[in-house]
């Protein structure tokens, strides 16, 4: 039961910023938004996560809207190695643990 909606595919020119949108309109107050990427059927790689505030790390920036119904992952200077499927995920906390709901992801192609 995916809780996120992402465009199926996007292209980005090498060296430009890649902005990947995600809708999570049913997100609850204590549910985090996570981003992972998967390259060629390898295991998904963690990128970044956030709850309310915008976040930045060495890989990317995460912009979350004030109402938390959507977010954008920004790769500031896309390279060819950033070509991958990017998953926006809502982490649901239960009484006993947590569960990650993966959507269908966005296939990002970085073009030389």
| Interaction of residue 101 with another protein, rule CB under 8 A | yes
27-to-13, 17, 18, 80 alpha-carbon distances in Å = 32, 27, 24, 32
Residue nearer to another protein on the CB measure, 42 or 53: 42
Least distance to another protein from the beta carbon of 111, Å? 24
65-to-70, 76, 84 alpha-carbon distances in Å = 6, 19, 24
Contact predicate 61/76, CB 8 Å: yes
Residue from 17, 52, 99, 111 touching another protein (CB under 8 A): that is 99
Residue from 45, 56, 57, 65 touching another protein (CB under 8 A): that is 45
- What's the distance, CA 52 to chain centroid? 14
Residue from 53, 67, 96, 112 touching another protein (CB under 8 A): that is 96
Footprint of another protein on 2-31 (CB under 8 A): 2
Residues whose CB falls within 8 Å of the CB of residue 56, separated by 6 or more in sequence, listed in order: 48, 62
Residue from 43, 53, 58, 81 touching another protein (CB under 8 A): that is 43
Footprint of another protein on 46-75 (CB under 8 A): 46, 49
């Amino acid at each position: 039961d995916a809780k996120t909606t992402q465009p199926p595919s996007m292209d980005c020119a090498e060296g430009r910023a890649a902005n990947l949108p995600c809708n999570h309109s049913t997100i609850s107050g204590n549910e985090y938004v996570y981003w992972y990427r998967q390259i060629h059927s390898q295991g998904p790689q963690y990128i970044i996560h956030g709850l309310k505030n915008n976040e930045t790390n060495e890989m990317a920036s995460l912009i979350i809207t004030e109402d938390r119904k959507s977010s954008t992952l920004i790769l500031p200077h896309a390279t060819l190695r950033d070509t991958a499927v990017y998953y926006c995920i809502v982490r649901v906390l239960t009484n006993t643990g947590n569960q990650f709901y993966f959507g269908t992801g966005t296939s990002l192609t970085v073009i030389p």
